Structure 1
Amino acid sequence: MKRLFAKILLFFLTPVLIISCNAVKRLDADQNLLVKNEIFSNGEDVKDSRIYSQLYQEPNTRILNFPLGLHIYNLARPNIDSILSEKFLENDQKQKKLVSLLSKKQFDRYLKSGVEFNEWLKRTGEAPVIVSEEDTKKSENRLQSWYWNNGWFNVETDYKIIPLENKEKRARIEYYVTPHEPYILDSINTDIPSKALDSLYELNKAESEIKSGTQYNTLDFNEERDRLSQLFRNNGVYNFDQEYISFDADTVETNHKLNTTLIIKNQRNNIGDSISSIPFKIHKISKVNIFTDYEFSNRNEVLADSARHEGYSLYSFEEMRYKPESISDAVFVKPGSIYSDIDRTRTYNRLNTLRIFKYPEIKYTLDPDDSTGTDLVTNIFLTPLPKYSLGFDFDVSQSNIQEFGIGFGGSFLIRNIFGGLENLEVSGRGSIASSTDAAKSNNDNRFFDITEVGADMKLSLPRIFLPVNTEKIIPKYMSPFTNMSLGFSTQRNIGLDKQTFSGILNYAWKPSKKLTNSFDLLNIQYVRNLNTENYFNVYRNSYEELNEIARQSNFEFNNPNNDPSLEIPNEADEFINYVVSDNFPNTGLNEDDFFNVLDIYERKLRLTENNLIFASAFTYLWNTRESLYDREFSRFRFKLETAGNILSALSGVLDYEQNEQGKSKVVGVAYSQYVKTEIDFIKHWDIGKDQVFATRAFGGIAIPYGNANTIPITKTFFAGGPNDNRAWQAYDLGPGSSGSILEFNEANFKLAFNGEYRFSLIDQFKGALFVDVGNIWNVLDSNTSEEFVFEGFQDLKELAVGSGFGLRYDFNFFVLRFDVGFKTHDPARPEGERWFKDYNFNHAVYNVGINYPF
């Protein structure tokens, strides 16, 4: 296998080595390829990437120190038209031969395709960066500007172009910077003739971005302009603009001190041909008019309905469809308040989150009834979206338990169902799939043997629905919502077949643009298994182990022969009862076999029992990503979930029935009780030239207590798969060093760490190199097997390491991903034999996914 891997590597590297010799083949004799930039400040090598980013020319992009884009560009012929003309058009004999063979139309298309392919190579590749005296001078000027903008007003710069002696047509550039002493801000004075602005400035002077004693920085002055503009516009100065702000700096004979004066001019006032200036004034909102069903087509029609609520005037061209208090509650611009940009922005955001209206329009005009010229009339134009919306979705999938699957669904949305801006969404979903599992019945030869059907109903209210007022804790600018949902699904598959009922009462709010909070006051889930007698057909590994133990025991098989097997389900259950109910010496088994049967029995009970989960959960999400195109951002998520506490608290009032294990039952099911927490952190760094380094760290633990010894399988963790450790398939890693001996491996403690270097290849094709680290373990539950359990930091040596590479294609609105993962450190192998033992394509795991893994 090592020889095969070497051959594959040689296959890819050979053309690379061949074309790498021709990196400068398109350059003229007097041209040099730029291979390196170096910047020296006072003779010392500069490392700051911000300073290097000022350079006008940078060397060609390299992937693993190889300029792939440059070589692709060099594959293109610079004079393709003359080459094709000489080869085909000017050679009558060859032209006639090809025309007779292809036809004239196909011949012309052949020539055109050659030109188009040549142009594609140029577009896809990267033209050689040729050292230019003019561009180098531009880089020098940019360096000079950067240092000047950071306080070094007397900076001196120079450069030198140095051809490489040992490589033809290549050169590097050295830039030399002598900053000299920087300038420090000294006195800060003001010239603000408007009393209103001067008063606002003095009240908020402590928050200034420019401070005496700090080194001059142009960005600080720009940020101070932004701060002052926002300050004034959020405190009533409706018509203020940044162009009124300027700074006057004095550096003459100040011993490298800078004395600055903040100047804020009066407002320009144009009357006819004359221009004058008047002091800025504070404006307040006198009226707020809301047009609830405005459209451009009805702008000139007569209003048919109106209403008033807490100073707001609401108008409608038809009968009013909205409760006035609901509409006014979504508007932050209040009659009688001071004008504020924040109020306008919050109104836009809140109205958009309702999913009731198209993007609203808010206009301000001077109140004609006000003689002082300070009152503003606010007109808000709302255009409703359709009352009803219908949506459909369809997808095709593949996983480790199904060869092929088709999913489909639909949703029906009713907007403003009760007149208070509530939305009701009813959705249905279904799927059919073909299994890969051996548990398929011999009498069931259907291709699609997995089916699932479900339905959900969700009501969304634009407020916190509680009997107490939460305005002081969660003000309306946080866009609060109450979501109530009910769900049902039934699943028929190769497994145990399940019915699931769920109900959720959720509150969500956004304290800021980056922060989102979500609180499930109630999250109720009831899972009912319909086909428990099929357990040992599904979990074949458990059955094979049980059957082997039975052959070594005194158990009498129903069909004894030379190779007896336990019949499923009755005989397998009889053998378990035979072992568990008797003292193991009478069964002919040793102590290890007895406890193995006991483990199989306890796992079967857990996986076949019905679940009742009465949970509450809080999720904190901080995300600096503003759009799909952000390349540098961070994301932090914390979730805390508890279950069973309410039912446990009622145990003193209600007389619960007990099951065989002594656990309390509600509606015939032992309820789950646990605490679960998850911490997930993602960080992306943009390292330039279409390259990103992405990392993720995840930790999660779920601890049973009280009425439970284990965690419901729907609440446990698994490892492996296209979005986790890609060197293992989903559910195929762990727990611990057990070696994934079960069909579906899960546990209640998980650690996962991922690092990925992403880079551009050709056109929309992207590449990636990644390392995934992680595993799952059992902790503080009923499992006591040493290889399964996390007992301390020494078990961190059981962290699995996978590494590999990936190829992605960016469709702009989503990314199609293909990753290959290799087992780098396998904790299932004996110690000393865990590193790089299956590091080859035969043991690789191939993952296909949509979008990036994190």
Structure 2
Amino acid sequence: MKKTIRFWGLLSAFSLLLCGCSVSKFIPEGSYLLDEVKIESDNKEVKSSEMSLYVRQTPNAKWFSLVKLPLYIYSASGADSTHWMNRFLRKIGDAPRIYDAGLAEETRSQMQQAVQNKGYMGARVELKEEKKGNRLKAIYQITTGEPYTVEHLSFDIPDFKVHDYLMADSTHSLLSEGMILDVNVLDAERQRMTDILQNRGYYRFNKDFITYQADTLSGSKKVDLQLKVLPYQRKREDTPSPHQQYTLRSVNYLLDPNLGTSPAGSLLDMDSVQAEGIKLFYQGTRPFLRPGLVAASNRLRAGELYRVRGVQNTYSSFSRFSILKYTNIRFQEVFENDSAYLDAYVTLSKGKNKSLAFEIEGTNSAGDLGAAASVSFSHRNLFKGSENLTLKVRGAYEAVTGLEGYANSNYMEYGVEANLSFPQFMFPFLTSEFKRRSRATSEVSVEYNWQIRPEFERTVASAGWSYRWQNRRNTTHRFDVLDVNYIYMPYRSETFIDYLNYMDEINPLLRYSYEDLLIVRLGYTYTYNSSGASAQKTAQRNSYSIRVNVEEAGNLLYGFSKLFHKHPANGESYRMANIDFAQYIKGDFDFAKNFMIDERNSLVFHVGLGIAYPYGNSKSLPFEKLYFSGGANSVRGWSVRSLGPGGYRGNENTMDYVNHTGDIKLDLNVEYRTHLFWKLKGAAFIDAGNVWNIRNRENQPEGLFKFNRFYKQLAVAYGLGIRFDLDFLILRFDGGMKAINPMYTGKDRYPIIHPDFGRDFAFHFAVGYPF
């Protein structure tokens, strides 16, 4: 700890020295470096963090909110801007932010307007400048005063039909007597009312037709507020008229047409077919999408009132079609007698339906070098329903070292897999309404893998049937209806069998990992992300995510076996086709919370908990289902599969990674993320966690989970990381140091006090953020 404090102290002193020596040369005479911006408010309802959005000029960025190192890097450059080193330092650094009085006044004015818009009409924002040498600190002091409140609320809606629609939903109104006269709330109510009417046929309605009139009572801060809905006027000189409701007269789908200026004009040279109330126009012998599928994905209904929600849902529905390049919806107005109609034209533009890809990669397994290559073929419209078929063939070779007594020291792997996905629910008994509400994909997959090592041969065959759907923008569901994995060991050398026999007392899980096994499971995963953003990107605002997973395996097979056989044939476990099958239940919970400090800094908290319980036909979980700790996404002071369970220390055996597993896992992480420069981002983290066993293992009594000691067995690590944000992916490099090591006692238990770099450091490379 003292070394860490000394390091940061030296870094800060060095940075200040750099700054003092070099920043001044970039500050013009009579100007000031904007050193800090501070916002002070006398009202807790007006938060300084909200007002920071209006700051037009910010100080130079700080690494981890501590040191302005990018500024010092820039300032280390020389005056000659043509020299490559100076250009490089200026590119990766951050130029000094020279205080601009004009921008400061603009900030003050906009901030004052923002506070007044919140209902504090008499609010004032004062700008205070504190100068010290050639540096300046800008302080914005907010004085809100008393807010204006709504004393009486009334509505002026002369159109009776519009009035009835809006009043029918008045329970959800954002307006009420006694509320603060907040302009933001008033505008949100305008948008809410507009959404109601646009989903009741009012195609031409927008929120500009809704206005407010506010009259203040003399000598007080009470307001009489009236909401008005203005009649329809296309132009100012037009005569006002009632707002018109539009009905969808026809819904037309144009499949990959050559559009002219008018959609209707493009239909003359196209063939057509009708399906469930829509008309499909296409070129060629037949449409590239099945008419029934297009109709099932359509959310626009001829004969019904226009609804903007139907337009949005149609876009969302067709976004799942991988064969489509883009979707475009346009409307043409038609007036007949006193009625208004819309003809909808939905253009579906076709993309490439076939592709071929090659991949070559290098491998490194515990120092054994090798190479792998794969070729994959994709067809994105296999049955003319945007079904995506992917076929992949993979081969790998690795030179295995350190094996004695084997003539062949090569590792070969061959694999083939097929995946077919459908852009809809392929399942009976579901109502058409449920299918329409859900953005769903169905997936069927088959995979075969053959591993050939000097010690053994292993084949892994798997097949899966799953569904993924969204019924809200932030929520994703995945249901694995059937997932079958079959592990078969056709060959084990005599030397390897002798080794397993020798390891039975030391490492009983090892033999279980090299036996034939059948896993038949089903599972459900629920994921929620409040920002709706990709997990690969850090959200640009406060957000959180939740993932819950539940799965079970073997219950159906166990019940089937029990039905025909009262007791297992071998007295230990039932078998299916002479193969042991796994039986267990497993649950995982994952929560991450992201706090944005400013546009360059954020703080992320993460909690991960997993529990799995083998029972019935299984005494232990399959090796692939056991939890492990350590690695790039867990406690980063340990390498993968090297921590736990509990206080288990392990031994020097090369296969001991099998023993560093458990039935329970807990991860606790906090990570400070900061933007450094260019595409580089940095992180400082503290991790804690471990794995434990539910049942006692003879060689691991310290690995058994107990409530009165598990918290004493939490491993703790700290470290720093670098991320390369390449937009399409994030490359991550993390270096972690052990802080508390539950595998040891005495002074070795606390390496944070007595660090040993060779013993306590672990380096990790990964793609994407850890949580």
| Same-fold status (TM-score > 0.5) | yes
Residue by residue over 1:452-510, the C-alpha shift from the partner in whole angstroms, topping out at 9 and shown as x without a partner, is 222222232343333323445x3322122322222111122466442111111212211
**3-state SS of 1:202 partner:** helix
For the 8 Å contact 1:292–1:314, the answer to whether it is kept is yes
User: Do residues 514 (structure 1) and 474 (structure 2) align?
Assistant: yes
Considering only CA atoms, is the larger Rg found in Structure 1 or Structure 2?
Answer: 1
Equivalent residue number for residue 414 of structure 2: 453
Residue by residue over 1:180-229, the C-alpha shift from the partner in whole angstroms, topping out at 9 and shown as x without a partner, is 21111232222223333222111112212232222222221221122122
**3-state SS of 2:471 partner:** coil
**3-state SS of 2:350 partner:** coil
Equivalent residue number for residue 206 of structure 1: 171
Equivalent residue number for residue 726 of structure 1: 636
Aligned counterpart in structure 2 of residue 650 of structure 1, from 553, 560, 565: 560
Q: Residues 847 and 159 from structure 1, CA distance in 2 versus in 1: closer, same or farther, beyond 3 angstroms?
A: same
Equivalent residue number for residue 137 of structure 1: 105
Give the letter aligned to residue 702 of structure 1: A
State the alpha-carbon separation in 2 of the partners of residues 357 and 656 from structure 1.
56
More moved, 224-233 vs 666-675: 224-233
Q: Residues 601 and 774 from structure 1, CA distance in 2 versus in 1: closer, same or farther, beyond 3 angstroms?
A: closer
Deviation at 1:161, TM superposition (A): 2.2
Deviation at 1:772, TM superposition (A): 1.3
Aligned counterpart in structure 1 of residue 246 of structure 2, from 280, 283, 288: 283
**3-state SS of 2:179 partner:** coil
Equivalent residue number for residue 323 of structure 2: 356
Equivalent residue number for residue 523 of structure 2: 617
For the 8 Å contact 1:2–1:840, the answer to whether it is kept is no
Equivalent residue number for residue 549 of structure 1: none
State the alpha-carbon separation in 1 of the partners of residues 572 and 27 from structure 2.
84
**3-state SS of 1:258 partner:** strand
State the alpha-carbon separation in 2 of the partners of residues 572 and 174 from structure 1.
73
* Structure 1 portions without partners, runs of 5+: 82-111, 535-567, 577-596
Residue by residue over 1:123-161, the C-alpha shift from the partner in whole angstroms, topping out at 9 and shown as x without a partner, is 433333344544443333233223212111112333332
Q: Residues 197 and 440 from structure 1, CA distance in 2 versus in 1: closer, same or farther, beyond 3 angstroms?
A: farther
Deviation at 1:619, TM superposition (A): 0.6
1:176-575 superposed matches below 5 A? 176-253=141-218, 255-269=220-234, 275-296=238-259, 303=269, 305-321=271-287, 322-367=289-334, 370-398=336-364, 401-435=366-400, 438-439=402-403, 443-444=407-408, 449-471=410-432, 474-493=434-453, 496-533=456-493, 568-569=495-496
Residue by residue over 1:812-839, the C-alpha shift from the partner in whole angstroms, topping out at 9 and shown as x without a partner, is 2222222111011111111564122563
Q: Residues 396 and 294 from structure 1, CA distance in 2 versus in 1: closer, same or farther, beyond 3 angstroms?
A: farther
Deviation at 1:651, TM superposition (A): 2.1
Give the letter aligned to residue 294 of structure 1: P
More moved, 489-498 vs 652-661: 652-661
For the 8 Å contact 2:252–2:278, the answer to whether it is kept is yes
Q: Residues 398 and 286 from structure 1, CA distance in 2 versus in 1: closer, same or farther, beyond 3 angstroms?
A: same
For the 8 Å contact 2:533–2:539, the answer to whether it is kept is yes
Equivalent residue number for residue 587 of structure 2: 677
State the alpha-carbon separation in 1 of the partners of residues 178 and 44 from structure 2.
27
**3-state SS of 1:59 partner:** coil
Give the letter aligned to residue 18 of structure 1: L
State the alpha-carbon separation in 2 of the partners of residues 665 and 646 from structure 1.
13
Identity %: 25
For the 8 Å contact 1:357–1:384, the answer to whether it is kept is yes
Aligned counterpart in structure 1 of residue 511 of structure 2, from 605, 619, 622: 605
Give the letter aligned to residue 218 of structure 1: V
**3-state SS of 2:357 partner:** strand
Equivalent residue number for residue 101 of structure 1: none
Equivalent residue number for residue 735 of structure 1: 645
1:773-784 superposed matches below 5 A? 773-780=688-695
Deviation at 1:615, TM superposition (A): 0.7
More moved, 119-128 vs 688-697: 119-128
Residue by residue over 1:169-190, the C-alpha shift from the partner in whole angstroms, topping out at 9 and shown as x without a partner, is 3343444333221111232222
Deviation at 1:778, TM superposition (A): 1.0
Aligned counterpart in structure 2 of residue 841 of structure 1, from 757, 764, 767: 757
Deviation at 1:402, TM superposition (A): 4.7
Equivalent residue number for residue 753 of structure 1: 668
**3-state SS of 1:733 partner:** coil
**3-state SS of 2:284 partner:** coil
Q: Residues 811 and 38 from structure 1, CA distance in 2 versus in 1: closer, same or farther, beyond 3 angstroms?
A: closer
* Structure 2 portions without partners, runs of 5+: none
The number of aligned residues is 754
TM-score when scaled to structure 1? 0.82
User: Do residues 19 (structure 1) and 51 (structure 2) align?
Assistant: no
State the alpha-carbon separation in 1 of the partners of residues 178 and 630 from structure 2.
55
Give the letter aligned to residue 706 of structure 2: E
State the alpha-carbon separation in 2 of the partners of residues 499 and 142 from structure 1.
67
State the alpha-carbon separation in 2 of the partners of residues 776 and 326 from structure 1.
48
Give the letter aligned to residue 693 of structure 2: N
Residue by residue over 1:495-545, the C-alpha shift from the partner in whole angstroms, topping out at 9 and shown as x without a partner, is 6442111111212211111111111111111111244447xxxxxxxxxxx
Deviation at 1:162, TM superposition (A): 2.8
**3-state SS of 1:646 partner:** helix
Aligned counterpart in structure 2 of residue 626 of structure 1, from 527, 533, 537: 533
1:690-839 superposed matches below 5 A? 690-741=600-651, 742-744=656-658, 745-780=660-695, 785-830=700-745, 833-835=748-750, 836=752, 839=755
Deviation at 1:773, TM superposition (A): 1.1
Give the letter aligned to residue 171 of structure 2: A
Give the letter aligned to residue 402 of structure 2: A
**3-state SS of 1:480 partner:** strand
Equivalent residue number for residue 546 of structure 1: none
For the 8 Å contact 2:41–2:48, the answer to whether it is kept is no
Deviation at 1:660, TM superposition (A): 4.0
Residue by residue over 1:304-323, the C-alpha shift from the partner in whole angstroms, topping out at 9 and shown as x without a partner, is 64322222222222222443
**3-state SS of 1:787 partner:** helix
Residue by residue over 1:52-71, the C-alpha shift from the partner in whole angstroms, topping out at 9 and shown as x without a partner, is 44344433322252211221
Deviation at 1:422, TM superposition (A): 3.2
Equivalent residue number for residue 769 of structure 2: 852
For the 8 Å contact 1:725–1:802, the answer to whether it is kept is yes
For the 8 Å contact 1:677–1:701, the answer to whether it is kept is yes
Q: RMSD of the TM alignment (CA)?
A: 3.1
Give the letter aligned to residue 481 of structure 2: L
For the 8 Å contact 2:35–2:137, the answer to whether it is kept is yes
State the alpha-carbon separation in 1 of the partners of residues 158 and 361 from structure 2.
65
Give the letter aligned to residue 692 of structure 1: S
Give the letter aligned to residue 797 of structure 1: K
Give the letter aligned to residue 648 of structure 2: S
For the 8 Å contact 2:748–2:754, the answer to whether it is kept is no
Give the letter aligned to residue 93 of structure 2: G
Q: Residues 196 and 713 from structure 1, CA distance in 2 versus in 1: closer, same or farther, beyond 3 angstroms?
A: same
Residue by residue over 1:9-41, the C-alpha shift from the partner in whole angstroms, topping out at 9 and shown as x without a partner, is 899677535313334343355444333444444
Equivalent residue number for residue 537 of structure 1: none
State the alpha-carbon separation in 1 of the partners of residues 381 and 546 from structure 2.
34
Give the letter aligned to residue 839 of structure 1: P
Give the letter aligned to residue 16 of structure 1: S
TM-score when scaled to structure 2? 0.90
For the 8 Å contact 1:758–1:768, the answer to whether it is kept is yes
For the 8 Å contact 1:191–1:262, the answer to whether it is kept is yes
